[in-house]
Homo-oligomer: A and B are copies of this chain.
Amino acid sequence: MKASIILAHPNPKSFNHAIAATSGEQLLTAGWTVNWHDLYAERFDPLLPAEELARDATLPPEIRRHCDEIVSADAIVIVHPNWWGQPPAILRGWQDRVLRMGIAYRFGADGVPIGLLAAKWAIVFTTSNTPRDKEIAMFGDPLENLWTRCVLQFCGVHNTVRRNFEVIITSKPEERALWLDEARQMVAAAVAGTSAIH
């Protein structure tokens, strides 16, 4: 079994990196293969160029590799901060360039979208500096809808769990350690669920 971890934070010492690393460790411990994508570290270019708008576009090798990996991943772990209720631009562009029509989804004869990703589950970890109740009241927590309905469900991944950790900026080391434990347990539970399916 193999998982793709997609991480989008500019600071390699960020709590986002710690969450992704913890998730990766847990997957490796369970005997999974991990395709690790620290998008900032690999200098992922998030700009969908005009040439890639065409459905039969020839893709650069690094985009083709991303496409091949995400289509066949048994599970997906996404980690990013909440910036303006959305993922950072580098991950926004990963959606645009990698989750292409004909690769991540297609349309049926009746125009209904058909998801093409093989993943049995996805976990989306996000971080923010807004208290949960304020986030909901002021913005309605757009990331929940964006990831579950607009992106992952659309691509065929119906078993998605999201966990937002907040408030990062005022959190103490003990609190962050508990959050990492929670992340580890969430991955472990998803892995156990996958095993149960097989």
With A47-B10, A53-B10 known as contacts, the answer to whether A89 contacts B89 (CB < 8 A) is yes
Does A95 count as interface, using CB distance less than 8 angstroms? yes
| B contact residues around A50 at 8 Å (CB) | 10-12
| B contact residues around A48 at 8 Å (CB) | 10, 83, 88-89
Does A40 count as interface, using CB distance less than 8 angstroms? yes
Chain A stretch 112-150: residues in CB contact (< 8 A) with chain B = 138-140, 142, 145-146, 149-150
When C-beta atoms are compared, the residue in chain B nearest to A89 turns out to be: B93
Count, chain A residues at interface, CB 8 A: 33
Does A7 count as interface, using CB distance less than 8 angstroms? no
Does A86 count as interface, using CB distance less than 8 angstroms? yes
Contact B149 A138 (CB under 8 A): yes
In angstroms, how far is the closest chain B Cβ from the Cβ of A174?
23
**Please, how many angstroms separate the alpha-carbon atoms of A11 and B50 in the complex?**
5
**Please, how many angstroms separate the alpha-carbon atoms of A85 and B151 in the complex?**
9
| B contact residues around A95 at 8 Å (CB) | 83-84, 86
| B contact residues around A96 at 8 Å (CB) | 83-84, 88-89
A-B pairs with lowest CB-CB distance, top 8? A89-B93, A46-B89, A85-B150, A10-B50, A89-B92, A92-B92, A89-B89, A11-B50
Would you mind naming 29 contact pairs between A and B with Cβ atoms under 8 Å apart? A10-B48, A40-B47, A46-B47, A46-B90, A46-B93, A47-B88, A48-B83, A84-B96, A84-B99, A84-B150, A84-B151, A86-B92, A86-B146, A88-B93, A88-B96, A89-B89, A89-B90, A89-B92, A89-B96, A90-B93, A92-B92, A92-B93, A138-B149, A139-B145, A139-B150, A140-B145, A142-B142, A142-B145, A142-B146
